[in-house]
Amino acid sequence: MELAIDRTTIAKSLWGTDGKPCGIIPPVYKGFTDVYDDWPQDLKDEYTYNLDKARQLMVEAGYPNGFITNVIAGGNNDLNLLQIEKAMFKELGVEVEIKMMDGPSGRQFIESRKHDGMTVAMGGVGTPPLMSFENSLPERNNAVCPDDPTFVAFVNDFRLSKTVDAAMQKAKEGVYYLLKQHWTTGPMPTATFNTWQPYLKGYNGEGGPSFYGMRGWYYARLWIDQSKKK
């Protein structure tokens, strides 16, 4: 299904971007992840539109005629993107039913593990690296529900990094590991913008406009420059 997504077409038609995919850590965290141009060629190939190869893999997986699935989506999701991907998956033989639910109901439905197909989730938005990795652990906020001891051990090692350089190296390893698992069919990053008062110091746009997912200790590192507050 990854190979059936024409990211270049999506990016140009919806967002005016280059359509290059990225890993679970947003490219704004330089040093913690490699941009697409620096990926190994074999990994690039796994994220490059190739419908013939995708159909071949479907046959090898035992689905020569495709299959039927569904995706749980909320009103705040990009429905244009969903419709485009639905059409692309259909070319592969995968029929995707889009099941619309309001935000709270959809979240409860997914966290109760009642979904039997796919879900839609927004990623990135300045999410700190550790939180990005934690979102892929087999816990309730992870709709993919992987049970991968290798990745769990990696996250524990990443938490224990003693230096920034060590954390950066470990982060890159984790990004590549997740990219190779194909637990999700992430399309590509888009540009988002946060604004804040110039007197708010210690904040650099992390976590989105509503401080999405930020923990208490982040707030302890913010302060007000009273000289600039007018």
Whether residue 14 sits in one domain with residue 30: yes
| 128 shares its domain with 218 | no
147 and 215 part of one domain: no
Tell whether 206 and 138 lie within a shared domain. Answer: no
The pLDDT of 126-150, averaged and rounded, is 79
pTM score, two decimals?
Answer: 0.81
Q: Can you tell me the distance from the alpha carbon of 229 to that of 198, in angstroms, rounded to the nearest whole number?
A: 8
Output 5 or 16, whichever has higher pLDDT: 5
Name the residue range of residue 162's domain. Answer: 2-187
One domain, residues 173 and 214: no
List pLDDT tens digits, range 45-65. Answer: 999 999 999 999 999 999 999
Spell out the alpha helix ranges (H) of the chain: 7-10, 41-46, 51-60, 79-92, 103-111, 129-134, 149-159, 164-181, 216-219
Same-domain status, 202 and 173: no
**What is the pLDDT of the chain when averaged over all its residues?**
87
Do 95 and 143 lie in one domain? The reply is yes
**160 plus 209 within the same structural domain:** no
Per-residue pLDDT, averaged over 215-225, amounts to 79
- For 33-37, the CB contacts below 8 A with 24+ separation are 33/129, 33/171, 33/172, 33/175, 34/172, 34/175, 34/176
pLDDT at position 127: 73
Same domain, 206 and 102: no
Whether residues 148 and 206 share a domain: the answer is no
Give yes or no: residues 215 and 147 share one domain. Answer: no
CATH of the domain at 60: 3.10.105.10
User: Residues 83, 126: one domain?
Assistant: yes
**Number of compact structural domains in the chain:** 2
- Please report the pLDDT score of residue 145 as a whole number: 79
